[in-house]
Amino acid sequence: MAKQVGMEVSIAAAEAVKLANVDVIAAYPITPQTHIVEHLSELVADGELDAEFVPVESEHSAMSLAVGSQAAGARSFTCTSAQGLALMSEIVFIAASMRLPILMILANRSLSSPLSIWNDHSDVMSVRDCGWIQLFTENSQEVYDHVFIGYKVSENHNVLLPTIINMDGFILTHMFEPVYIEDESVVKQYLPDYVPKFSLHPDKPVTMGAFAMPTLFTEAKMAQNEALKASYPYIMEAWKQWGDLTGRYYNPIEELHTEDAETLLLTMGSFGETAGEAVKAMREQGKKVGLLKLRLWRPFPFEELRRAVSGASKLVVVDRAVSFGGPGGPAASEIRSALYDMDPRPQVHNTIAGLAGRDVTVNDFIQIVESAETKKTDDYEIYGVRG
């Protein structure tokens, strides 16, 4: 039976990695993900987790190690943030192309410059098209659960793709929240020991990540894209199986008060809980406002989004990153593209907010909605700019 405890979200993530029985941990410290690998080092040193804990010299090396160990047949884990992700990004793309089911927690943090250790989504958006399955989590329980779900999906022999779990830096990583810790037998039932489909071994040589001439490269990328899109039903199946075991079910888009909403907010990550309180407050005032929480970023849930917004006249997308020189934020740009052929389709207003951890309160979300409701065309604004 699951036991509810209060703990730091980073520690809960590390406890989930322990229960997932990983074989190799590639660790390099960077704020705000460091507490995850610190706790994993303690678990390995104390004999609670039988794994190779490798303190590498850089994030580039961390992902390189994860690629090598996963290719050799080991269940591998790593995590990073911001500039760390930027440094490892060369190998991030290789991991997906080689179809290696690595799990990485990305403790979302602003990309410099100016230097910031605080949270937004500029880091993950820099690898938006890296070919990994990408999920956003809202709270401690979602982070914990998706460690198991991520491995379950990635290691499926019909998927074989790496997974990024996004958790907002500091807003989640350093917060203490209640979380249900599952019994080891439940996790084992859901996530058996890793059995690779292909692995490097001197007794049976294989080639991975070989050179490709232009006559083959396009077909390889087409196959990779089709594989990522085809992972969708296996993600849905993994969510259902986890829900059947634990009572906690997940969906690509979580909906709150959407049944009769004329205006919809859309958020990603930890903003969902604050936005939910704002929606409840506006409902109490008689306003027909609802909330969509986008959990699955890649593969993108096109049909679920179209269904969810079909009754609304306005959609307010809250981004936590800027697409410099573009039409606002990256999430809103993708959502407009996903809805372009709907008739009728809601007007899409984009608000960029919470950059580098700036607080966005319940009242701020109410003001964001009120401002969007005065607009007549698709547009965007960066909320709360001073001076």
| Model confidence pLDDT, tens digit, residues 324-336 | 999 999 999 999 9
Distance, CA of 155 to CA of 158 (rounded, Å): 8
pLDDT at 64: 98
DSSP for 183-206, written as a single string: PHHHHHHHSPPP--SS---TTS--
| Shared domain check, 108 and 17 | yes
Residue 128 resides in a domain: yes
Distance, CA of 156 to CA of 197 (rounded, Å): 9
pLDDT at 184: 97
Distance, CA of 385 to CA of 247 (rounded, Å): 42
Give me the CATH number covering residue 322. 3.40.50.920
**Structure tokens of 345?**
């389709």
Q: Which residues pair with 380 in a beta bridge?
A: 350
Q: Are 32 and 83 in contact (CB under 8 A)?
A: no
Distance, CA of 5 to CA of 12 (rounded, Å): 10
| Model confidence pLDDT, tens digit, residues 38-90 | 999 999 999 999 999 999 999 999 999 999 999 999 999 999 999 999 999 99
3-state SS of the chain: helix, strand, coil percent to 5? 40, 20, 40
Distance, CA of 62 to CA of 58 (rounded, Å): 6
| Shared domain check, 185 and 266 | no
| Model confidence pLDDT, tens digit, residues 253-289 | 999 999 999 999 999 999 999 999 999 999 999 999 9
DSSP for 141-194, written as a single string: HHHHHHHHHHHHHHTSTTT---EEEEEETTTTTT-EEEEEEPPHHHHHHHSPPP
pLDDT at 376: 86
Residue 1 has pLDDT above 90, yes or no: no
Number of domains in the chain: 2
| Shared domain check, 351 and 228 | no
Residue 356 to residues 38, 191, 302, Cα–Cα distance (Å): 24, 36, 29
Which of 245, 277, 305 is where one domain is finished?
245
Residue 159 resides in a domain: yes
| Shared domain check, 87 and 18 | yes
Residue 261 resides in a domain: yes
pLDDT at 387: 80
Residue corresponding to tokens 């209640």: 178
Instruction: Taking residues 155-182, report their average pLDDT.
Output: 98
| Shared domain check, 138 and 117 | yes
Q: What sign does the CA torsion over 139, 143, 144, 148 have?
A: positive
Residue 387 resides in a domain: no
Strand pairing report for 263-267 and 176-181: unpaired
| Shared domain check, 323 and 220 | no
Distance, CA of 269 to CA of 271 (rounded, Å): 6
| Shared domain check, 261 and 217 | no
Containing structural domain, residue 181: 3-245
| Shared domain check, 157 and 200 | yes
Give me the CATH number covering residue 162. 3.40.50.970
DSSP, res 355: G
| Shared domain check, 57 and 202 | yes
Q: What sign does the CA torsion over 272, 277, 278, 283 have?
A: positive
pLDDT at 23: 98
Residue 162 resides in a domain: yes
Distance, CA of 72 to CA of 152 (rounded, Å): 19
**Mean model confidence pLDDT for the chain:** 97
| Shared domain check, 279 and 211 | no
307, amino acid identity: R
| Model confidence pLDDT, tens digit, residues 286-307 | 999 999 999 999 999 999 999 9
Distance, CA of 280 to CA of 266 (rounded, Å): 15
Residue 377 has pLDDT above 90, yes or no: no
Which of 185, 214, 245 is where one domain is finished?
245
| Shared domain check, 353 and 298 | yes
Strand pairing report for 253-256 and 289-294: antiparallel
| Shared domain check, 290 and 338 | yes
